[in-house]
Structure 1
Amino acid sequence: MSLQTKLEVVCLELLKKTSTDLPPDVEQALEKAEKGERDPVARANLRAILENLRVARERGVPLCQDTGLPLFYFWMDPSLPLDPFEAARKAVKKATREGFLRPNTVHPLSRKNEGNNLGKEMPRVKVFRRRGEEVEVTVLLKGAGSENCSKLIMLAPEKGVEGIKELVVKAVAEAGGKPCPPIILGVGIGGNAELSMELANLSLLRPLPERHREPSLRRLEEELEKRINRLGLGPMGLGGKTTCLGVKVEYAHTHTASLPVSLSFLCWAARRASASLEVGG
């Protein structure tokens, strides 16, 4: 088997895994939330979510009818004889054909659907340069319910940290039950408009227990999570303590006259998985 084919297999297996299972940290957070809820409706919703996960895992079927748009992240040495874009395309096409992905991808204007989840700039692939013979791949599936709640706000710099907190909590409150809470929220701060949203998405790749390394950002994550859960939206927006399983923040330096803030929502089905390929192995 060629090295390129091995990479395609890795991508395909990650798509199958993300479609039919959740990361352990997300499942554990849902179990903890179910035990901590007092509202009977909230507990019933969380139990239904956990039962849905169990059935999907046992039967090897998608755990949500909206299998989302696949996002691929590669960390690799650019000198390696590999084409991550082609590997991702072939994996997506095959996963769609085998029923692990619903054919969601359409032309934005004509809405024409080719039926294979391929198209201009789709699947989305991001490649990060690093040295060595190990290739790391992460796949994230983002459904439309949560993606449609995403926001980019060019906040006035004088609003500062308090302004960021207010707009984040307001955005979650306005989203209500649309993103299928309990959510995981990625917050990208700084850079330009494009980088801000990229940071929000990248933050979602961090496991739930992993807080930001910088103390001020760690405190911001913790405070935002508490404020959001105090909203009382609860699972599916029907009330309860658990609106949010976690908040992840990333930042970049920005223009002195700008303060971009981007929000990237994940529903309870926070489908991400990673694997590595040893080129020399």
Structure 2
Amino acid sequence: MTEWTILGAGALGCVMAGLLRQRGERVSFMLSARHRGHFHPSLDLITLSGRHELIQSQPRFPEQARQVECLLVFTKAYQVLEALKGLQGLPTTTPIILFHNGLGVAEQVQELFPHNPLIAGVSSHGAMKEGDWLVRHTGKGETWLGPQNEAAKSWAHLVKPLAAALGHAEWSNDITLHQRRKLAINAVINPLTACNNIYNGQLLEPRYADVLEQLSEEVFQVMANLGDTEEQKDFRRRLQQVIELTATNYSSMHQDLIHGRKTENEYITGYILAHAGTQPVPVSSQLYQEIKRRGG
């Protein structure tokens, strides 16, 4: 049985760890030096039914990188490289699965670990951090894995234990499609909720109807120009569904901005701007600049 090592103990990383442990999988957390010498607490997972479950896991530290069998990276996009640089002892056979939001990081990770199987992960599970080592699973979703290099193509078997733990996990040889479709949703919801200081469901209020429509159109057109064949009505339906399913949630960008943390603006809205070409994207540009102005 593979041990799953979680790098990035945020909301989604902790929920994934909890779901894997519930299925009897071996799970560890790769911790930073500041946790050294501290008692490693149990993870308190609040399940979909509202029940509290204590989840036990093993602590790991960077000097134990050689023991890592499978690495799941749940850090913010801008933290990925720095977090991985401390794991230079990672065996070249260990798969690295990147679960961050946005796009543009995998290429840099490939340079850092040229021989490791590099896999992209996309998940729509809902997760909310309510305290230190206290997380709430707020919604079931789909999880997709796919290869980012040649070495990763022989690791499709990883989806079987993940599917058993998460309810759904599939392998896709065109993982970029799933990444872009998730990014498209994030590029609408995240900057709008962050700049307006609202939770996701408020985007459906009449006062946001015009800007929601304009931004959706911009993002859809950029993705269409990149080769996505999804029809506009299907994109709108998907966007509406995500807003409704996460209605009471605050987006990650909203939470980062409100708490004075760096956001993933560069990897989400920045990606839209970088790939807009000659297409005008005034709403995306305005939101991007506003988040930068506020320090995000």
Alignment TM-score, normalising by the size of structure 2: 0.26
Which one has the bigger helix percentage? Answer: 2
